[in-house]
Amino acid sequence: MYGIDSYVAIGDSFTEGLNDDLPDGSFRGWADRLAEILAAGRSDFRYANLALRGKMLDEILDEQLPIALELKPDLVTLCAGGNDIIVPGADVDAVTERLEEGVAKLREAGIPVLMFNGPDTKVLSVMSVLRGKVAIYNTNLWAIADRHGARMVDLWTMDPLHDRRAWSDDRLHFSPEAHYRIALRAAEALGIPLERDWREPWPEEVLPSRWIDSRRSDLTWTKVHLLPWIRRQLRGESMGDGLSPKRPQLAPLVPLDVLEVLEVPDNARQQAS
């Protein structure tokens, strides 16, 4: 179906699926959801997810890309470089030049590529300072996609992601509802017709946020997320140290009911309301 019988996802925590939690403590995420849509219950559809949290671009290109090239699937999704450009002093242009090397190798091998640009961080307190960097990165990514005939999922212009409820408490990863919408947006970019629309507006918030609540949230976020991230950077550590990809080989998906495939989990709906 859709001419895609095999799919390999490469990248970092975004593609691994943080923080779209499953009951067993693992993560589902937009890539798993997209694979479920592509499979549509078929037992012959195969999917691998090599993405791992904390991975820098060089690690993704050195460790994950060769496997994707060897497997030569009908589709590779690539989202990488985000962890690189948020490092203070990072050269955004140099990061995109390196990423283009990976895109070029995939396309030269005849593998269709679906890329993702960075989301707009305007709604995120503190993290909004990254907005300029992300915008420059995105402009370069569009040029890469155009040069190599890759498709793009434009996260920057996805209005539902401009709502704070699309984000997890760490302000780096998406909520389950956002992962669900991103999967629908990716399917749309591939030309797959769906009944549901990622553009559906969020429910109106019952209680508006207050300034004092936002300041308290900033302090909590700094203590719980920002300072540990800075410590890891100084020590050369990663969230993914000692972990392995959740789907390291092309393998069939467990068949799911079509409605279950397309529905967002109840806990995500609760977060959205």
Map out the domains of the chain with their CATH numbers.
Answer: 6-198+215-254 (3.40.50.1110)
**What per-residue confidence (pLDDT) applies to 185?**
98
Cα 153 to chain center, whole Å?
10
Q: How confident is the model at residue 224 (pLDDT cuts 50, 70, 90)?
A: low
Q: Are the C-beta atoms of 166 and 121 separated by less than 8 Å?
A: no
**What per-residue confidence (pLDDT) applies to 168?**
83
Is the pLDDT reported for residue 269 higher than 60?
Answer: no
What's the whole-model pTM score? 0.85
Is the pLDDT reported for residue 30 higher than 60?
Answer: yes
Minimal CA–CA distance to 52: which of 96, 25, 83, 89? 83
Averaged pLDDT for residues 181-210: 89
**What per-residue confidence (pLDDT) applies to 84?**
92
Q: How confident is the model at residue 143 (pLDDT cuts 50, 70, 90)?
A: very high
**What per-residue confidence (pLDDT) applies to 260?**
46
Is the pLDDT reported for residue 210 higher than 70?
Answer: no
Averaged pLDDT for residues 11-19: 94
Is the pLDDT reported for residue 63 higher than 90?
Answer: yes
Averaged pLDDT for residues 248-258: 73
**What per-residue confidence (pLDDT) applies to 229?**
60
List pLDDT tens digits, range 66-125: 999 999 999 999 999 998 998 888 899 999 999 999 999 999 999 999 999 999 988 776
List pLDDT tens digits, range 68-83: 999 999 999 999 999 8
